[in-house]
A and B are shown apart, each in its own frame.
Chain A
Amino acid sequence: MRPEKLGTSWVLGGAALALVLGVLGGLWTSSGLEKSLPASSVPATVAYTAFSHRKHTTLGIACGACHFQTYVEAWAGLPSVELCRLCHRSVEAPPASWEPATRLPGHVFFSHRRHTVSGGISCERCHGEVQAWDAPPAEPSFPRGMAGMNRCVACHRIVGASTDCLSCHR
């Protein structure tokens, strides 16, 4: 319904990223994580499209370290190649045609921030065992359509969150 929305998001994301990258870089080095990893164990050359969540989460890297927008924005976005370059010397960027499997349908107004910060729920609650993935998923990490909405509503009923249509569809 609104293809231009994504474009704006990416532009905004770029701006936000530039700002956050510096902070993250600082966090990364100050946390000592960099020192705890032998430099040889970080592959110098990696391909963005061959990203393994398992390898990264076993190193103790939290979801929010790369998907930091989930805590500040409605949209989750994808980590940029620049973010990968904080650790990897050379990153093969995804082709322009490459698209993430999980996309929010146009008729749903979902805020990641509302769920992570206000709701305080963990990523796995909705996205499942992402830690076990060895490659980017071919299927959406949250089902679309009624399958997805049934899960939303089930959880909203349990925690007493709004089940008013207007909250998510408007």
Chain B
Amino acid sequence: MVRWAMVIDLEKCSGCQACVVACAAENNVPLGSPQEAEIGRLIRWLQTLPRIEGEYPHVRAEAVPMMCFQCERPPCTYVCPVAATYKNPQGVVAQIYWRCIGCRYCVNACPFTLKWFNWFQPRWPATMAEATNPDVSLRDKGVTEKCTFCHHRLQQAKDRARAEGRPLRPEDYRPACVEACPQGALVFGDLDDPDSEVARRARSPRAFRFLEELGTQPKVYYLAATPEA
């Protein structure tokens, strides 16, 4: 069985935020406004967590890319009263927007605060509204949304592979953030395939996951910038 996962190498990540932009553009995430940002209600499926260590002049700044961790035991799915969010057979935590009633239980259940509620009706500048991605829905006000590892790209990759009469190759399916990363810091693949790059890197001694003690078993791994940082 396939289990999609990601490894983010913080040694390679320069914090350029190309992934943030690529994600928002791919998934029709609205730009938001400065006012929304000020009250913490901006939606970014992938955002960077700034982390600054040390004191001047010995400062080390890091911007840690964070998207839904696609937990193996996702707390958000356990609290959804309408089964709008669930973990699919390939380990991706899905959100069915048309079933979501906007109760925000899942938003609050996520220990990583990586689920997003549409507090406002999403708006785009006129030129951008014409160029939204037709493979991803436009969510309405009152609906919770989240990263799905660009699930529509998996379907497109399968279609391409089938049209060419060959099996799906690992490089066929890559989420927008992985594709955009100029440093190759983001690696995506099948965690259940022991030979995949993702599985190999997840076994690295530098690998760690956020809040592992909660037992949610995230499928987004990080490689620490320095051994045992």
Contacts and interface: CB of A to CB of B under 8 A. Distances in A.
Contacts of B132: 2, 4-5
Contact of B155 (A5, A114, A165): A114
Nearest to A108: B98
In this complex, which of B92, B129, B155 has the most chain A Cβ atoms within 10 angstroms of its Cβ?
B155
Contact of A164 (B89, B134, B135, B159): B89
A169 interface: yes
A122 interface: no
A106 interface: yes
Contacts of A1: 137-138, 140
Given A164-B94, A166-B92, A169-B96, A118 B137 contact: no
Interface residues of A, number: 21
A114 B159 contact: yes
Interface in A48-62: none
Given A165-B86, A166-B88, A109 B96 contact: no
Nearest to B140: A1
A74 B159 CA distance: 11
A11 to B, nearest CB: 9
Nearest to B86: A165
A88 interface: no
Interface string A2-36: 10110011000000000000000000000000000
A107 interface: yes
Nearest to B84: A165
Interface residues of B, number: 27
Interface in B64-105: 86, 88-89, 92, 94-99
Main SS of the interface on chain B? loop
A170 B152 contact: yes
Contact of A166 (B94, B134, B138, B163): B94
A117 B163 contact: yes
Contact of B136 (A74, A113, A170): A170
B158 interface: yes
A130 B47 CA distance: 50
Given A111-B155, A117-B159, A170-B95, 10 more contacts: A2-B137, A4-B130, A8-B130, A74-B134, A109-B152, A118-B159, A166-B88, A166-B92, A167-B155, A170-B136
What 7 pairs between A and B have smallest CB-CB spacing?
A: A107-B98, A166-B94, A118-B162, A164-B88, A169-B96, A2-B138, A165-B96
27 contacts: A1-B137, A2-B138, A4-B132, A5-B132, A8-B130, A8-B134, A107-B98, A109-B152, A111-B159, A113-B159, A114-B159, A117-B163, A118-B162, A164-B88, A164-B94, A165-B86, A165-B99, A166-B88, A166-B92, A166-B148, A169-B98, A170-B94, A170-B96, A170-B97, A170-B136, A170-B148, A170-B152
